[in-house]
């Protein structure tokens, strides 16, 4: 197995990564480790003096993603909340509620995944890559406060315009943004749904319990957050969870309500196992849609993560796909004889995992807009049948933890 990567013209691979988020930094750090002769640079518009560790956005990672980050020695450990159990159910009225419960213990794994803030994940990745940059400044660098304005394909190269034009053998775009701000890609659909996001406090939720509740308006999810430490001698703090509440844009039941009314509606929709919502943070809303490139590779440019596919959050798999893209690309670059062979390999290798997840999330998202007679009854029956069928439930759990293998 090759331990270095050299282009056909005999110079080391020159790799540029656009975007210093989780997927981009994970790819850069892995390339620094596994491609010891490659020159790896990262561009990001984020200001160099910005404390990224304070970014509160919530991320949900699968067990496979946790393991990948542990291999990079950039996993924040106890700062993340393990997901020990996932409860998926349908809210009444449906005729048949139906529910599936997946437990880490039943699957023989320490956790199904983990929940943490964006800053808690990105800060150690950035520190680890900066440490590598200081150790090898001739081949590794991170340029914060440096937005990339254009990419231009050249013969076996890509020209990156970030104030000064530079050429690289390969550019990986890992800077995607949210659906509402993106130019439309080859496969695109506006679900006409809004995601209301925030945090809740719960009076009795089990530690590490994630909830996915299918309502008549769309999916409602609670993701467990790390508990806040209580002062000495004080009673334990309430469980906290991140809220993702998806509803139709054209008939939004959340927008006209105040916080007290929103909590009452949440408590009516959530299953008893979730506990009761006792506090609700201010909510923000985001438009939801599918926006995916037909191919990850175009010339010598590769797109990963949200730059390649922005998905509905119903399965919480967007970042996990991006991390799997990153690791597969570096493995292909390490093992293939040249850049073009690596890019052909990554395109075929990632297609089953990528398109199966795009299709699954798209189907689920669209199904909440259908008003077919008996659909909710069918969905509830399917959940009940899945829960009773051990092998099928384990297969689903493995798919969510590790993707298509």
CB 246: neighbour CB atoms within 10 A?
A: 24
Query: Domain range holding 95?
Result: 77-116+188-288+371-402
Is the pTM higher than 0.75? The answer reads yes
Clarify whether residues 50 and 159 are in a common domain. Answer: yes
Q: What is the mean pLDDT of residues 303-311?
A: 93
What's the distance, CA 370 to chain centroid? 26
Listed residue (126, 113, 10, 127) closest to 63, CA to CA? 113
* Percentage with pLDDT > 70 across the chain: 92
Per-residue pLDDT tens over the stretch 134-192: 999 999 999 999 999 999 999 899 999 999 999 999 999 998 888 888 899 999 999 99
Domains in the chain, number: 2
CB 282: neighbour CB atoms within 10 A?
A: 7
Helix locations, 241-338, DSSP H: 259-269, 318-335
Phi, psi (degrees; rounded to nearest 5) at 44: -155, 145
User: Is residue 66 in a domain?
Assistant: no
Per-residue pLDDT tens over the stretch 101-119: 999 999 999 999 999 999 9
Averaged pLDDT score across all residues of the chain: 90
Q: What is the mean pLDDT of residues 71-95?
A: 88
User: Is residue 8 in a domain?
Assistant: no
Clarify whether residues 170 and 250 are in a common domain. Answer: no
Clarify whether residues 176 and 209 are in a common domain. Answer: no
- Per-residue confidence band for 282, with pLDDT thresholds at 50, 70 and 90: very high
Clarify whether residues 92 and 237 are in a common domain. Answer: yes
User: Is residue 35 in a domain?
Assistant: yes
Name the least confident of 260-264, 346-350, 367-371: 367-371
Clarify whether residues 249 and 276 are in a common domain. Answer: yes
User: Is residue 9 in a domain?
Assistant: no
What distance in Å separates the CA atoms of residue 254 and residue 247, rounded to the nearest whole number?
8
Q: What is the CATH number of the domain that holds 398?
A: 3.30.9.10
Q: Do 38 and 2 form a contact (C-beta atoms < 8 A)?
A: no
User: Is residue 251 in a domain?
Assistant: yes
Q: Do 334 and 36 form a contact (C-beta atoms < 8 A)?
A: no
Q: What is the mean pLDDT of residues 278-296?
A: 95
Indicate whether 94 pLDDT > 90: no
Tokens 């089990």 map to which residue? Answer: 206
Clarify whether residues 104 and 174 are in a common domain. Answer: no
User: Is residue 206 in a domain?
Assistant: yes
What distance in Å separates the CA atoms of residue 118 and residue 15, rounded to the nearest whole number?
25
Q: What is the mean pLDDT of residues 60-82?
A: 94
Clarify whether residues 132 and 222 are in a common domain. Answer: no
Clarify whether residues 22 and 128 are in a common domain. Answer: yes
Clarify whether residues 194 and 242 are in a common domain. Answer: yes
Clarify whether residues 158 and 52 are in a common domain. Answer: yes
What token pair was written down for 297? Answer: 């590779």
What's the distance, CA 61 to chain centroid? 6
User: Is residue 43 in a domain?
Assistant: yes
Listed residue (280, 306, 301) closest to 343, CA to CA? 301
Q: What is the mean pLDDT of residues 363-379?
A: 75
Please list, residue by residue across 175-195, b when 16 or more beta carbons sit within 10 angstroms of its beta carbon and e when fewer do: bbeebeeeeebeeeeebebbb
Clarify whether residues 334 and 361 are in a common domain. Answer: yes
What token pair was written down for 389? Answer: 């069928």
Q: What is the CATH number of the domain that holds 43?
A: 3.50.50.60
Clarify whether residues 228 and 330 are in a common domain. Answer: no
- Per-residue confidence band for 318, with pLDDT thresholds at 50, 70 and 90: confident
What distance in Å separates the CA atoms of residue 372 and residue 364, rounded to the nearest whole number?
14
Query: Which is it for the CA torsion 268, 270, 272, 274, positive or negative?
Result: negative
pLDDT score of 213: 92
Top mean-pLDDT range of 174-178, 272-276, 366-370: 272-276
Top mean-pLDDT range of 7-21, 34-48, 177-191: 34-48
User: Is residue 267 in a domain?
Assistant: yes
């Amino acid at each position: 197995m090759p331990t270095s990567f050299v282009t056909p013209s005999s110079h080391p691979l020159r790799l540029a990564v656009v975007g210093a988020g989780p997927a981009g930094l994970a790819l850069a750090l892995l390339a620094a480790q596994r491609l010891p002769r490659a020159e790896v640079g990262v561009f990001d518009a984020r200001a160099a003096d910005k404390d990224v560790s304070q970014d509160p956005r919530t991320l949900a990672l699968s067990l496979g993603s946790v393991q990948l980050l542990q291999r990079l020695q950039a996993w924040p450990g106890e700062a993340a909340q393990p997901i020990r159990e996932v409860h998926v159910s349908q809210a009444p009225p449906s005729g048949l509620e139906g529910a599936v419960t997946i437990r880490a213990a039943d699957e023989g794994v320490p956790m199904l995944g983990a929940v943490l803030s964006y800053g808690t994940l990105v800060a150690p990745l950035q520190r680890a890559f900066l440490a590598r940059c200081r150790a090898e400044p001739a081949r590794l660098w991170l340029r914060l406060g440096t937005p990339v304005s254009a990419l231009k394909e050249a013969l076996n190269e890509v020209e990156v315009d970030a104030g000064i034009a530079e050429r690289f053998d390969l550019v990986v775009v890992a800077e995607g943004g949210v659906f509402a701000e993106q130019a439309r890609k080859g496969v695109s659909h506006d679900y006409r749904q809004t995601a209301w996001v925030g945090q809740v406090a719960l009076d009795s939720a089990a530690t590490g319990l994630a909830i996915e509740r299918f309502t008549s308006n769309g999916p409602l999810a609670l993701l467990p957050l790390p508990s806040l430490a209580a002062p000495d001698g004080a009673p334990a703090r309430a469980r906290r969870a991140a809220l993702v509440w998806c509803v139709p844009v054209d008939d939004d039941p959340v927008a006209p309500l105040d916080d007290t009314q929103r909590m009452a509606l949440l408590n009516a929709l959530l299953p008893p196992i979730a506990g009761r919502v006792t506090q609700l943070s201010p909510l923000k809303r985001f438009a939801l849609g599918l926006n995916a490139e037909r191919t990850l590779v175009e010339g010598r440019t590769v797109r990963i993560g949200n730059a390649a596919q922005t998905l509905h959050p119903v399965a919480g798999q967007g970042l996990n796909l991006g991390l799997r893209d990153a690791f597969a690309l570096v493995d292909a670059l390490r093992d293939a004889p040249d850049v073009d062979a690596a890019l052909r390999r990554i395109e075929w290798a990632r297609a089953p995992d990528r398109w199966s997840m795009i299709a699954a999330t798209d189907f689920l998202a669209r199904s909440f807009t259908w008003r077919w007679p008996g659909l909710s009854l069918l969905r509830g029956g399917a959940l009940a049948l899945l829960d009773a069928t051990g092998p099928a439930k384990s297969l689903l759990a493995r798919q969510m933890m590790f993707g298509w293998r």
